[in-house]
Amino acid sequence: MTHPDRFVLAGLMGWPVMHSRSPKLHNYWLGAHGLAGAYVPLAIQPEGLRAALRALPALGFAGCNLTIPHKEAALAIVDTVDPLARRIGAVNTVVVAPDGSLEGWNTDAFGFVESIRETQPAWRADRGPVVVLGAGGGARAVLVGLIDQGAGDIRLINRTLARAEALARELGGPIKTLAWDQRQVALDGAAMLVNTTNQGMVGEPPLDLPLDTLPASALVSDIVYIPRETPLLAAARKRGNPTVNGAGMLVHQARAAFRARFGIMPEATPELRAMVEATT
Ligand SMILES: NC(=O)c1ccc[n+]([C@@H]2O[C@H](COP(=O)([O-])OP(=O)(O)OC[C@H]3O[C@@H](n4cnc5c(N)ncnc54)[C@H](OP(=O)(O)O)[C@@H]3O)[C@@H](O)[C@H]2O)c1
């Protein structure tokens, strides 16, 4: 933890990184909590990750966040890995400990679960089958979050079935895998649908998934956050399903990362939400 009367430094390492909303969030909270400091985007190429992370203590950084393509590689570089980050298989938050060692954390599962609870306070993971589309980095955090919240029946569907099967084996728990062409059938009787593929994000086509077989009561969540309302969420809203967009996961994982570094859990104030929404 950093002493409050010092200039504190933190940043986001990614490649690319300039598109990220994280500096806005963290700089807002530094100001809101009277901490003099800065959170900066750090464009780090994959081959430079080790040296960049190892330089954090000498540069006086309290820590950093990691985004594509560094989250998995960082696992093997930091000195200690939190068990949750180990299970997810990725580090999104690095904290510089008082002795200069590097701690690896993952706050994405927390961010996902909090984003659901914020919109749907009565939500429970064990209400019925949960359909998860995608088996990439985002899916890993979502699946661990769902399992830890007590989901009893997860239908995992990915374009590349072998990747979903490998993930199901690795994570264990109540995950059944289904082939991509089974995705519409899988919606039958579902209590929740989560898109963790990149389909529907800006520059990608919409997710190819008719919702006819999805119960109208099912909660539809999309972790894609640009645009704020993906074609999937728009279609779900039009037929009356409750929806949760990906901006909440982004904000809440950042709250937990801020706490890991500074010991303060910052709030997702309406002003902050408006700031994020203005850019998505
Ligand atoms: N809200 C947040 O805080 C948050 C956090 C993490 C990620 N995200 C967002 O989630 C999305 C995925 O990120 P990621 O890190 O998980 O990416 P990733 O690791 O690259 O995984 C991409 C996923 O999309 C699938 N996919 C790609 N093209 C497809 C297609 N044409 N049809 C069907 N599936 C396709 C991939 O399937 P294959 O395995 O078959 O390639 C894979 O499951 C991105 O939009 C990212 O911005 C948001």
pLDDT in tens, 45-57: 999 999 999 999 9
Q: Is the pLDDT confidence value at 138 over 50? A: yes
CA of 212 to the centre of ligand 1 (A): 23
The reported pLDDT for the residue numbered 279 is 74
The reported pLDDT for the residue numbered 2 is 47
Question: What is the mean predicted confidence (pLDDT) over 21-47?
Answer: 96
CA of 89 to the centre of ligand 1 (A): 16
Query: How many CB atoms are closer than 10 A to CB 240?
Result: 8
Model-wide pTM > 0.85? yes
Catalytic residue at 71? Answer: yes
CA of 200 to the centre of ligand 1 (A): 10
Label residues 10-34 b or e (16+ Cβ within 10 Å = b).
bbbbbbebeebbbbbbbebbbeeee
Confidence at 172, pLDDT banded by 50, 70, 90: very high
Question: What is the mean predicted confidence (pLDDT) over 158-176?
Answer: 97
Question: What is the CB < 6 Å shell around ligand 1?
Answer: 108, 111, 134-139, 158-160, 163, 196-199, 201, 223-225, 246, 249-250, 253
